Amino acid sequence: MTDTLLEQLESLIGSDDFEYESAAIIGKLKEEGAGLETVGKLFGIIERHPLDDFGNPGEIAYFIEDFYPDYLPALIDSVNRTPALHTLWMLNRCVNAAEHKEELLSILKKIADDAALEREIRDSAASFYDYQTGKRGVF
């Protein structure tokens, strides 16, 4: 059933009802007892839609962040594999609390400097990096 719910979630991306419907689907995932093993699948969905809006922070992020700090390796893997606006935003949130702040900042810097990535992705990573390193005020 988990895979079916995740397919439903992904089919809603970009729809006007995404925020409302994603809350219902994430609620059902929780009822089923979905846990940390589901986090990688959720990152996969975000990776397939790197420029889409998943909310701020949105139900997906709320679900994933319930597993802090255990989800951090999966987040780093996801961002290294396919940076997405939402996972960069989540990584930035982790910089604020992380023991490995320098590692996370280096990931943001690497993405900001990667000319092969979409401008929007690079700009997002650069904004977070600049903010976290004090090079820029509020972005």
- Note whether 136 and 127 are within 8 A (CB): yes
What's the rounded mean pLDDT across residues 104-131? 97
Tens of pLDDT, residue by residue over 43-99, are 999 999 999 999 989 999 999 999 999 999 999 999 999 999 999 999 999 998 867
What's the rounded mean pLDDT across residues 94-114? 92
Tell me, what DSSP letter sits at residue 138? -
User: pLDDT band at 100, cuts 50/70/90?
Assistant: confident
Q: Kindly report the average pLDDT of the chain as a whole number.
A: 94
Closest among 69, 132, 78, 63 to 99, alpha carbons compared: 69
What pLDDT score was predicted for residue 137? Answer: 47
Q: Where are the domains of the chain?
A: 2-99
Tens of pLDDT, residue by residue over 114-125, are 999 999 999 999
Distance of CA 120 to the CA centre of its chain: 15
- Note whether 34 and 28 are within 8 A (CB): no
Tell me, what DSSP letter sits at residue 17? T
Neighbouring C-alpha atoms within 13 Å toward the C-beta of 7: 4
Distance of CA 35 to the CA centre of its chain: 16
What pLDDT score was predicted for residue 136? Answer: 67
User: pLDDT band at 1, cuts 50/70/90?
Assistant: confident
What pLDDT score was predicted for residue 139? Answer: 45
Longest dimension (CA), the chain: 46
Tens of pLDDT, residue by residue over 10-22, are 999 999 999 999 9
What pLDDT score was predicted for residue 97? Answer: 81
